[in-house]
Homo-oligomer: A and B are copies of this chain.
């Protein structure tokens, strides 16, 4: 069972979105193109934050942006046309201006992809800034320790 797999030695990742694979996701190798997983991962992170009451669009209106500064991703098994994948998302660490996400992509109980992504909180001038107070406390509550 998925839930077993994903919390071996770690907390259950509660946030999950489900996506179906269409032609536009795939390439002529017959599987999902490696860059396209990053789109699904973006969606999953956005929904994770949204589930905590954090709206990226509202923040943008205030001049607060989160941009990706680092991705480390392992492709373990391919997804194919019409597969249904589930993307589990968690925050591992909240830094001064950074959010550290950990995500896993499954097809049924097969782990396909594992990714760590760092987002940096920046202002309109693309300078890193402190994560706003309210956010910070919501997100810290979510992480381990």
List A residues at the B interface (Cβ < 8 Å). 20, 22-24, 26-31, 33-36, 38-39, 42-43, 46, 55-57, 60, 65, 67-76, 78, 80-82, 126
Contacts and interface: CB of A to CB of B under 8 A. Distances in A.
Contact of A24 (B20, B39, B60, B82): B39
Nearest to A81: B28
B126 A78 contact: yes
Copies in the complex: 4
A70 B37 CA distance: 12
The 6 closest A-B pairs by CB, nearest first: A35-B38, A26-B28, A24-B39, A34-B68, A23-B27, A57-B82
A22 B39 contact: yes
24 contacts: A22-B42, A23-B29, A23-B42, A24-B33, A24-B42, A26-B27, A27-B27, A27-B28, A28-B28, A28-B30, A28-B80, A29-B65, A31-B67, A34-B38, A34-B68, A34-B71, A35-B39, A56-B82, A57-B81, A60-B81, A67-B78, A68-B75, A69-B76, A70-B75
